[in-house]
Amino acid sequence: MQNKIVTLALQGGGSHGAFTWGVLDRLLEDRRIDFEGISGASAGAMNATVLAHGYNLGGREGAREALAAFWGRIAVKEPFSFLPPEMLPGGSSLLNQSTPAAMHALLAMTRFFSPTQLNPLDINPLRDILEEQIDFERLRRSGDIKLFIAATRVSTGTLKIFRNRELTVDSLLASACLPSMHRPVEIDGEAYWDGGLTANPPIFPLLHLCSARDLLVVLLHPCSRPGTPTSTQEIGQRLSEISFSSAFFTELGGLALAKREAENAMFAFGTLERRLRKLNMHLVEANDLMSQLDVMSKLNTKTSFIHGLHDEGRQAAERWLEKNFHMLGLKSSFDLGRYLQ
């Protein structure tokens, strides 16, 4: 039986990207699925690039090993690891883990000091991890999996997509450059910030530059939250989620409208119209879980938290495969029409 070919769009969200690692880990296990292209912003860009690098070296298993190695370096040895789980701060539950006080202190400082003041030497441990683990030269030469990495131009506030031939450690760091915590990353005289500000994740490159009929989006930000935020912390968290999701929902709305028009037209004359008619949309998410995690948990790199999110991602992918695999190549498992205004 011929494999199903899909494209992937991976959302950013700091340490929550470990959930996406779990999703990808499970999808890579399923030899019925092949990947044509992957887009991503921030943590989604990291996952996309690490997967493609590992795939170049050793196929599916190489991709799984590369992702495990990357997140293994991200996860730090947690304090109090010598204590039994029931005595750990916040308990052993993924949802109840305490956020280290240092993270809260750092966030408070970003309100009063610029990244240049907080980090005058521009130290970024992520740079060392990426340079050690990814062969960027090989990625630039290889087109086994098409990559579309999002960053935001500081000068214009517009989206920049880095493709395989342009990939460097700087383009990845640009995609994950939070304005309040890192200096802008300069590439060829242009300064860049986090790609999630303008596309989280980008959809259009997968539509225009790939041919697969099925597009699978992995979301990290909750699509909805119950209730109305009232405290300062709740308001700040919801504002952060909205700012990093609004571009994606706007793009979905435009895609839904374009797809409806293409399907209603009597004839499909152009390449884009034909692509839109055949396009199937799919979504893997964990809205209930993500809506219970606070914004500070995106900075939590405790080993148990990272691996707990990985396990949640694997389970979410497993549920999606059981329910929706048979729809690949045939129809959407996600109702894009809900975004039509």
Tokens standing for residue 309: 């999110």
Q: How many CB atoms lie within 10 A of CB 307?
A: 17
The CA distance from 178 to 151, in Å, is: 11
Burial 209-237 (b: 16+ CB within 10 A, else e): ebebbbbbbbbbbbeebeeeeeeeeeeeb
Considering the candidates 42, 171, 175, 245, report the single residue annotated as catalytic. Answer: 42
Respond yes or no: is residue 25 known to be catalytic. Answer: no
Respond yes or no: is residue 188 known to be catalytic. Answer: no
What is the 8-class DSSP label of residue 80? T
The CA distance from 176 to 189, in Å, is: 18
With the C-alpha atoms ordered 43, 49, 51, 57, is the resulting torsion angle positive or negative?
negative
Considering the candidates 25, 170, 175, 194, report the single residue annotated as catalytic. Answer: 194
The CA distance from 162 to 147, in Å, is: 8
- 201 upstream amide cis, omega within 30 of 0: yes
Catalytic residue numbers, as ranges: 42, 194
